[in-house]
Amino acid sequence: MKKYYPSIRALHLYFGLLISPLVLIFCISVLVLNHTDYINNRYPIQNLPVTKTHIDKIPYDTSDLQTAKNIIKKLGVKGEIDFIFQNDSQISFPVLLPGFTTSIKIDKQTNDVLITRKEEGAFRATNFLHKMPGPHNAKLRGNSFFMQNWKLLADGVVYLLLFLSASGIFLWYFLKVERKLGWVSILVGIILFTGLLFFLLT
Amino acid sequence: MLLKKITYTNRRLHIHIGLLLVLFIWLFSISGLLLNHGDWKFASFWEQRKQTKTITSIHIPSGLDSTQIIKNILLQLNISGEVNNVKMNADSVDFSVSYPGHVNNIHTDYKKSICVQNQLSYNIWGKLRTLHTFNGANKNNASTAPNWLLTRVWRFSMDGIAIGLIFLSVSSWIMWYKIRQDYAWGYFAHLVGFLTAIYFVILLRS
């Protein structure tokens, strides 16, 4: 097994360096998600001026999503289309980017468009990325280029994190000087983990 | 000498904090994958949920405020968990009590002195998913703090794990920097990682 040590060490190091900035996104967002109140007070969301415009014709298509895609293309808005609401008088939907939300509302009778924008900042951007693609709105999710890429990247980070933790154990095992204390660390981890889960789940 | 001591301690902390957190890392990694892949059939939980309905007679003493009423109901039913979705009416109260993998929707009618519990229990996959998101956050009111001790403990643990992982990331940079000449591709790996993170967090919305 020891013959694999140099190559595992190199992979642990390179993959670790590669994903560490992305791991930071997930970690910072945990703090943001758990302390939303603090973030809201310190870094409030900025509502940008409302824009009113007009389109000559609503570019209807085969599905609501395709219609919404045509609309944002016409308006020059970029992002991930979220829940689309449509009735006899209007079409409305938000368009999401990490830390920035654009809401579009179109009057079907007059073709008047109301665009509202919210600048949510870098902390909420990490929050958004952590939750994406997520379990909700699965049929719609991944309708933008950036979200398709983020989906792959988020999975990749998790798989590499699993590799890093397994390879980390492998590397530690061959460090004789750290072996004893390492067992103590693992044991403390097991006690904390099982203890917390026992009380939470029963 | 001091720098040598710092880098040595940094390396040791990287190893032992990593070993301490390994089970938590696996839990949040696997549950994160489950949340992002709701179409994984083997991990379906909603279809396998268990639902039970229980009707219990209950007595609500008069002169209590809303918090005291809920505490009193929980005491009489001998249940605990994170309370949310509270709706107070003149002659009834509705709320839910949850802990990972379990939701109890409670309706209490003061006049009839009955309490109807609709309980939902999830399988192991559902429990894993809810552990990932169980932080007591109220979407409608961000200023509301968790009201169950164990939610607070779990949220504190989540913060600790996140800080631990931040440390593991930063300490790895320090460790690599010391041996950067032997691992020159580290510059490339680091640059690609940072540019990707900056693109998603900052550049996309600018």
CATH number of the domain enclosing B135: 3.30.160
Are B92 and B178 found together in one domain? no
Residue B17 lies in a domain: no
The tens-digit pLDDT sequence of chain A (202 residues) is: 788 999 999 999 999 999 999 999 999 999 999 999 899 999 999 999 999 998 888 888 888 899 999 999 999 999 999 999 999 899 999 999 999 999 999 998 899 999 999 999 999 999 999 999 988 888 889 999 999 999 999 999 999 999 999 999 999 999 999 999 999 999 999 999 999 999 999 8
List the one residue out of B98, B93, B39, B104 whose CA is nearest residue B66: B93
Residue A100: strand, helix, or coil: strand
Residue B2 lies in a domain: no
Task: Show the domains of chain A with their CATH numbers.
Answer: 1-44+121-202 (no CATH), 46-119 (3.30.160)
Mutation target for A interface from B8, B9, B17, B20: give the one with most A CBs within 10 A. B20
Are B124 and B65 found together in one domain? yes
Say how many CB pairs under 8 Å bridge A and B: 187
**Contacts of B192 by beta carbon, 8 Å cutoff, 6+ apart:** A18
Are B145 and B48 found together in one domain? yes
Nearest-CB residue to A34 (from B33, B150, B159):
B159
**Contacts of B121 by beta carbon, 8 Å cutoff, 6+ apart:** B49, B50, B51, B52, B101, B102
ipTM of this complex prediction, to 2 decimal places = 0.91
- The two tokens of residue A105 are 């509302």
Q: Which residues of A touch B194 (CB under 8 A)?
A: 21
pLDDT tens for B37-87 read 988 989 888 989 999 999 999 888 777 788 888 998 999 999 999 999 889
Query: Quick one: pLDDT at residue B68?
Result: 87
A17–B173: do the CB atoms touch at under 8 Å? yes
> Looking at chain B, which residue has its C-alpha nearest residue A95?
B205
Query: Quick one: pLDDT at residue B1?
Result: 80
Are B87 and B129 found together in one domain? yes
- The two tokens of residue A104 are 């579009």
- Given a contact cutoff of 8 angstroms between Cβ atoms, the answer to whether B187 and B177 are in contact is no
Q: Which residues of B touch A98 (CB under 8 A)?
A: 200-201, 204-205
Q: Which residues of A touch B155 (CB under 8 A)?
A: 34
Are B143 and B160 found together in one domain? no
Whole-number percent of chain B with pLDDT over 90: 68
A28–B150: do the CB atoms touch at under 8 Å? no
Residue B3 lies in a domain: no
Angle ∠(A38,A42,A47) on CA atoms, nearest 5: 115
B33–A196: do the CB atoms touch at under 8 Å? no
Q: How confident is the model at residue B30 (pLDDT cuts 50, 70, 90)?
A: very high
Are B78 and B127 found together in one domain? yes
Query: What is the DSSP code (8-state) at residue B120?
Result: E
Residue B105: strand, helix, or coil: strand
CA distance B119 to chain A (A): 15
Question: Which positions 11-50 of A are in contact with B (Cβ < 8 Å)?
Answer: 13-28, 30-31, 33-34, 36-37, 40
Are B49 and B98 found together in one domain? yes
Q: Which residues of B touch A135 (CB under 8 A)?
A: 35-36, 38, 129
Which domain-ending residue is among B111, B130, B149?
A: B149
Q: Which residues of A touch B172 (CB under 8 A)?
A: 13, 16-17, 20
> Looking at chain A, which residue has its C-alpha nearest residue B149?
A200
Which domain-ending residue is among B133, B149, B165?
A: B149
Nearest-CB residue to B36 (from A37, A154, A199):
A154
Mutation target for B interface from A11, A165, A170: give the one with most B CBs within 10 A. A165
Are B114 and B187 found together in one domain? no
Residue B34 lies in a domain: no
Are B51 and B141 found together in one domain? yes
Angle ∠(B157,B162,B167) on CA atoms, nearest 5: 120
Q: Which residues of B touch A10 (CB under 8 A)?
A: 183
CA B206, CA B198: separation in Å to the nearest integer?
A: 11
Residue B178 lies in a domain: yes
Residue B130 lies in a domain: yes
Tally DSSP H helices, then E strands, for chain B: 5, 5
Which domain-ending residue is among B115, B133, B149?
A: B149
Are B49 and B145 found together in one domain? yes
> Looking at chain A, which residue has its C-alpha nearest residue B194?
A21
Give how many domains chain B has, as a whole number: 2
Q: Positive or negative, the Cα torsion across B200, B202, B205, B206?
A: negative
Q: Dihedrals φ, ψ of B188, to 5°?
A: -65, -50
Domain span at residue B169 reads 156-206
Are B143 and B56 found together in one domain? yes
CA B162, CA B168: separation in Å to the nearest integer?
A: 10
B27–A193: do the CB atoms touch at under 8 Å? yes
CA distance B42 to chain A (A): 15
CA B161, CA A27: separation in Å to the nearest integer?
A: 8
Are B137 and B184 found together in one domain? no
Q: How many residues does chain B have?
A: 206
Q: How confident is the model at residue B103 (pLDDT cuts 50, 70, 90)?
A: very high
Residue B11 lies in a domain: no
